[in-house]
Amino acid sequence: MSLRSIIGAAMALILAACTTLPATPSHEIDELARDVSRAEDLRAVKTLQRMWAQYAQYGLWDDVGALFASDGRFTFDGQIGEAKISQGPEAIAAFLRQRYGNAHEGLVDGDVHTMMIEAPLIQLSPDGRSAKGRWYALIFTGGGGKAAIEGGIFLSDYVRVGDTWKIAAARYQPMYQGSYEKGWTNWGGGKLPVVPYFFTPDNAGVPIPAAEGPAPASGASLADLAARIQALNAEDQVRNLQAAYGYYADRKMWSDVTDLFADDGVVEEGGRGVWKGKTGIRRWLASIGPEGLAHGEVNDRPQFDVTVEIAPGGNEAWARGIELGMLGEADEERASWEVATFRNRFVREAGVWKIKEMRRFPLFKSDYYLGWGKSRLPMAPAEGAEAIPAADEAPAGLALPAFLGPHPVTERDVTPEGMAQRVAAAPLAGAIAAGPAPAIDLAEARRRLSLSTAYDGVENVSSAYTFYLDDYRSHEFGSLLARDGFKMSAFAGYYIGRDRVTEAGRRVWGEAPTLREGVHFHWRPQPVIMVAPDGRSANLRVRLFQPRTGMDVGEPGAWYGANFMTGMYHDQFVLEDGVWRFWNLSLDEPYVSTVSWKLGWAKAKDPVEKRTGSTSVLVSSNSDFPPDVPVTALGKRQEHFRGGTGKPLQWPSILPMWFEYTNPVSGRLPEHYQQDCPPCTVRPDLRLDHHGYMQPPDLKDINRRP
């Protein structure tokens, strides 16, 4: 062998030694496999409860019952000796069918049994074999010319039987109920109790506790685990994209909506038609109305119970959920409800998720002042649309978009009952090629997994705040903050630190009661959660969806009573000592509010004089406990907050909607763009950069890709 050959062979051996990664020890693979499984288990639990809502919407009570274990128990807790207990899937289905399903299975013409179940707070057990959950529910029912509304709290226990998660027990405590014509009041007409908590401020931010004992042998490879982690990350990104679409649609930001679609994207709207390509999608949007909200126009479309499925290969995904339309024009005193089901398809192109198909099927649209028991409004005529596929033709309100997969417990195909017809079962566009398997090392796999566990930790803390605030637990919601965290007190300003936030809450709400005359429910659905690359901090944009109740329906301007209000939270979180906590809690409100249940949001009029909010219950910047950063110091940002010196807009004027991120597909800069927390321009020390968790440049990068 020549000297050149010898040197070449030696160099090849050296190069191979330098470029070959050492084998990962099997016990580290097993530990990662256990952690991936626990993250997947937490999401499987959420899917169970969301499928309850999706099945109930179409009267599939047998399928709801089948979510329970064979000895599962459902308790309908009437609070005053009215508890009704059903045991076993068949008995549970029979109870729900009788109470919510007009005593029959399936959907027939005129039926409404839409259950919106949201605000999940889930905690896995240390051994990973069980879990607990708490959710809010808002239920629209109707049939035979009647309509009613009900709401309450679910407390659920979940159990893993083999590889399948089931509901072991569920307790539903109704909080309010009433006929559509009269409006709802507190359940039973009296004061409302506080539903017990299974969590604390110190563990709410730990949805997946540390595992017990050594990890069992998994037999998994790092490549397999990397693909499963990729699916978890993709679910987060698809959820963010779906939620971002909803916010753009709220404001009729049609340019941003169009940007979210692939070039060959397709829209199908049941009963109206199909629009193809971005030019067609713009025609679809124009058929809804001109771009932007005019004075007095409301186009709120909150999303609930979204389930997501990621295809093998990581380049294709689906999302299915419930959309509640709160629509109207106050200047014309017109308002309507709309409930629709969507089944959307997504594609990942060059690493960016886009909408490939948006398929939307309204169940009903009804005049607000008549309700869904007495009113069905026709859909607006299609403009520039192609005919819908023959397979998707169904009578108005009776189209059931195919579920994303088989029943999560029975594994059987779920088919319509009654008069409903399955639609959207086959794709409208062509096949999507699978992507390459991710090639990553153990450290990168753990980093990517931390992004998805962060998503669930942030969602948990967000819901914990909701539940504590609704029960006026100032100490508890103050304790959800990081040590140096801060919170806005509505219309007053920001208080910094747990003690001052707690005291501000106590001064607003008083001492925590055991019984309440009324409740303002601070639902926080439709999250856009943007996690820092190191998985140790995050931004959250989430909707304020606020139904209110009291011991009577409430006259116009009443603090308690049957009404709604909407707003937006802009929050930041940190992982502090292993627990997710709020760093910044900011709120813009109210975008839209009802005058009363009877008058709704379309009877609102511009105030004759500038109003500053209800100072009888809100902490005033002129009180003996002023905020650390008053709302009057926020400059342009204060135009959201009544009481500032900027432009204190009030519904039916259109408040600006701020965004923490640019368009997730095109990077389009929104008109109202904030890269920082609202008070950070006044107090730079409040920026989320302590302990190096998130420096401002990272914050900017994250915001450009939710």
Encode pLDDT of 78-134 as tens digits: 765 578 999 999 999 999 999 999 999 999 999 999 999 999 999 999 999 999 999
Enumerate residues 6+ apart whose C-beta is below 8 A from 243: 303, 526, 527, 528, 541
Residue 542 and residue 409 in one domain: no
Residue 403 inside a domain? The answer is yes
- Retrieve residue 539's tokens: 């931004």
pLDDT averaged over every residue in the chain: 90
pLDDT at 314 over 50: yes
- Give me the pLDDT at residue 640, please: 57
Distance CA 140, CA 113 (A): 6
Does 530 reside within a domain? yes
On the question of pLDDT at 54 being above 80, the answer is yes
Q: Are the beta carbons of 501 and 473 closer than 8 angstroms?
A: no
CA 287 distance to own-chain centroid: 27
Residues with Cβ within 8 Å of 355's Cβ and at least 6 positions away in sequence, in order, are 241, 245, 260, 261, 262, 265, 344, 345, 346
Residue 237 has pLDDT above 50, yes or no: yes
Strands (E), 58-111: 68-76, 84-87
| pLDDT value for 41 | 98
Q: Does position 418 have pLDDT exceeding 90, yes or no?
A: yes
Q: Is residue 8 part of a domain?
A: no
What are phi and psi for residue 503, nearest 5 degrees? -65, -40
Is 455 part of any domain? yes
pLDDT digits (tens, 9 = 90+) for 565-624: 999 999 999 999 999 999 999 998 889 999 999 999 999 999 875 444 433 344 544 578
CA nearest to 281, candidates 216, 357, 389, 182: 357
Residue 133 lies in a domain: yes
* 342-374 pLDDT per residue, tens: 999 999 999 999 999 999 999 999 999 999 999
Q: What is the pLDDT of residue 698?
A: 38
Looking at the fold, whether 168 and 99 belong to one and the same domain comes out as yes
My answer on whether 599 and 539 are in the same domain is yes
pLDDT given at position 16: 39
Statement to judge: residues 111 and 247 lie in one domain: no
Structure confidence by residue, pLDDT tens digits, 30-46: 999 999 999 999 999 99
- Eight-state DSSP code of residue 31: H
Residues 259, 150 share a domain? no
Question: Which of residues 229 and 641 earns the better pLDDT score?
Answer: 229
- The predicted pLDDT at position 647 comes to 60
Q: How many Å apart are CA 116 and CA 321, to the nearest integer?
A: 10
pLDDT tens-place string over residues 129-173: 999 999 999 999 999 999 999 999 999 999 999 999 999 999 999
Among candidate residues 324, 328, 331, the one with its CA nearest the CA of residue 360? 324
| Under 8 Å between Cβ of 475 and 598 | no
Same domain, 33 and 140: yes
> Helix and strand tally (H, E) in the chain?
11, 26
DSSP state of 659: B
CA distances from 662 to 319, 321, 673 (A): 22, 24, 8
In eight-state DSSP terms, residue 625 is: S
- 689 pLDDT band, cuts 50/70/90, is low
Residue 367 and residue 495 share a domain: no
Burial of 253 (0-12, 13-18, 19+ CB in 10 A): buried
- Establish if 18 belongs to a structural domain: no
Same domain, 388 and 310: yes
CB atoms within 10 A of CB 2: 7
**Exposed/middle/buried for 186, CB within 10 Å: 0-12, 13-18, 19+?**
buried
Q: What is the CATH number of the domain that holds 457?
A: 3.10.450.50
Residues 541 and 688 in one domain: yes
Nearest to 693 by CA among 525, 528, 482: 482
CA distance 249 to 237: 18
pLDDT-derived band at 685, boundaries 50, 70, 90: confident
pLDDT score of 79: 65
pLDDT-derived band at 702 (thresholds 50, 70, 90) equals very low
DSSP characters over 543-576: EEEEEEE-SS---TT-SSSSEEEEEEEEEEEEEE
The number of folded domains in the chain is 3
The answer to the question of residue 452 being in a domain is yes
DSSP state at residue 673: B
401 and 370 fall within a common domain: yes
Residues 170 and 255 in one domain: no
Structure tokens at 286: 């124009």
pLDDT band at 688 (very low <50, low <70, confident <90, very high): confident
The reported pLDDT for the residue numbered 648 is: 65
State residue 454's pLDDT score.
97
Classify burial at 397, counting beta carbons within 10 Å of its beta carbon; exposed 0-12, middle 13-18, buried 19 or more. buried
Domain extent, residue 103, equals 26-193
Domain boundary among 392, 423, 454: 423
| Same domain assignment for residues 453 and 360 | no
- Flag whether 14 is in a domain: no
User: Does residue 9 register a pLDDT over 60?
Assistant: no
Q: Is the pLDDT of residue 230 over 70?
A: yes
What is the reported pLDDT for 681?
82
